[in-house]
Amino acid sequence: MSYLSTHADRSLDFIAIGRLCIDLNANEINRPMEETVTFTKYVGGSPANITIGMARMGVKAGFIGKVAGDQMGRFIVSYLERNQINTDEIVTDHTGAVTGLAFTEIKSPTDCSILMYRDNVADLLLRPEEVSEAYIARAKVLLISGTALAQSPSREAVFVALDFAKKHGVSIVFDLDYRPYTWTSKEETATYYNLAAEKCDIIIGTREEFDMMEALERRTESSDALTAAKWFGYSAKLVIIKHGKAGSIAYTHDGLSHTAASFPAKVVKTFGAGDSYAAGFLYGLMQNWTVEKSMEFGSGAASIVVSSHSCSDAMPTASEVESYIARCKSEEMK
């Protein structure tokens, strides 16, 4: 069973639409950000991180987004190009909008937080008419991420991209990517997340993100299985629920479920886990691996990235993930 379209005639394996921002990760770690003096700048934004991860694993990737007309915007585009990511559909804003900043605070390996500056960001100014149907028709897979639904016109641009993808048989992956500070109310968030999710073939999120989506339903009981069952009533073939260090569970529309444990990691920061997991998991599906093998691959990629200071820069190659998993398994057998 292939969970992603296998159109051989597509020139791009994967494109994402959404935010391109900058991560500023504290260099002085294991202390509050009030005590941090210096930061390291990386390209960031969950859909950008996932795309960088896919490209690093050898996937032909592209991106649809909008960057600020300044040094940060130019830094982002050149970084993507240096990572062999097609940037033909990345638009530059000229209204004075800025680049979103994500300051990562690392108080301890298990106590990290993100301070996000998201006012007047260029990524949320992507317009529906700036989404190219022909570009989307070139791809096998389109990834959308939830934060792009937070404001107009980005919100409408995503729904146009979803319609183009449906029209051209492009598989649609929804990485829920819920960032509360970008939204005004849980009701608004749940409404738009659900409308988008109805069109998606694969939905990936944490338990908390799915709980947010179900907030309007006033359910009497909630479980991963019930969450997944809801989406099989729409377009979904695969629903993955992530549980941090406890691993992940995937439900397929044939009624089966698959679990994956996390791998041991010398955790530097917990951020980056979800993006690298998604990159590894989707890479596995693109190789026509089983769901379980793909989940294991995503878990290996995540373990590498949480053991690193960055997210995008630390995205591993496919052989690095394979070697890491082999090493973990051999150590487990000792």
Ligand X SMILES: O=C(O)C[C@@H](O)[C@H](O)C(=O)COP(=O)(O)O
Ligand Y SMILES: Nc1ncnc2c1ncn2[C@@H]1O[C@H](COP(=O)(O)OP(=O)(O)O)[C@@H](O)[C@H]1O
Q: Tell the smallest beta-carbon distance from residue 98 to ligand Y (Å).
A: 25
User: Which residue is closest to ligand Y by CB?
Assistant: 274
- Taking the least distance from each CB to ligand X, the nearer of 86 and 270 is 270
Q: Tell the smallest beta-carbon distance from residue 159 to ligand Y (Å).
A: 23
Question: What tokens appear for 180 in the block?
Answer: 């509360």
Q: Tell the smallest beta-carbon distance from residue 311 to ligand X (Å).
A: 3
Q: What DSSP state is assigned to residue 31?
A: S
- Taking the least distance from each CB to ligand Y, the nearer of 36 and 206 is 206
CA distances to 15, 35, 179 from 184, rounded to whole Å, are: 28, 30, 11
Question: What tokens appear for 293 in the block?
Answer: 């093998």
145: left (phi over 0), alpha (psi -120 to 50) or beta: beta
- In the window 95-154, what residues touch ligand Y (CB under 6 A)? none
CB neighbourhood size of 85 (10 A): 25
Q: Tell the smallest beta-carbon distance from residue 168 to ligand X (Å).
A: 27
The reply to whether 83 sits near ligand Y by the rule CB under 6 A is: no
Alpha-carbon distance 259 to 13, whole Å? Answer: 26
- Interaction pattern, residues 282-311, with ligand Y; x per rule: CB under 6 A: -----------------x--xx--x-----
For residue 246, the one-letter residue type is: A
- Continuous H helices in 32-117: 46-56, 71-82
**Angle value at C-alpha 257, between 243 and 333, nearest 5 degrees:** 70
- Interaction pattern, residues 244-263, with ligand Y; x per rule: CB under 6 A: xx-xx-------------xx
The reply to whether 273 sits near ligand Y by the rule CB under 6 A is: yes
Q: How many residues bind ligand Y (CB under 6 A)?
A: 19
- Taking the least distance from each CB to ligand X, the nearer of 23 and 296 is 23
Choose the contact partner of 5 out of ligand Y, ligand X, none; CB within 5 to 8 A by kind: none
Positions that interact with ligand X (CB under 6 A): 21, 23, 44-46, 49, 102, 114, 271-275, 311
Burial class (CB in 10 A: 0-12, 13-18, 19+), 9: exposed
With b for 16 or more beta-carbon neighbours within 10 A and e for fewer, the 183-205 pattern comes to beeeeebbebbbebbebbbbbbb
Alpha-carbon distance 288 to 286, whole Å? Answer: 5
Q: Do residues 115 and 87 lie in contact, with contact meaning Cβ atoms separated by under 8 Å? A: no
Choose the contact partner of 244 out of ligand X, ligand Y, none; CB within 5 to 8 A by kind: ligand Y
User: Which residue is closest to ligand X by CB?
Assistant: 44
- In the window 172-231, what residues touch ligand Y (CB under 6 A)? 206
- Taking the least distance from each CB to ligand Y, the nearer of 235 and 299 is 299
Q: Tell the smallest beta-carbon distance from residue 231 to ligand Y (Å).
A: 18
Q: Tell the smallest beta-carbon distance from residue 175 to ligand X (Å).
A: 8
> Rule CB under 6 A: which residues touch ligand Y?
206, 242-245, 247-248, 262-263, 265, 267, 270, 273-274, 277, 299, 302-303, 306
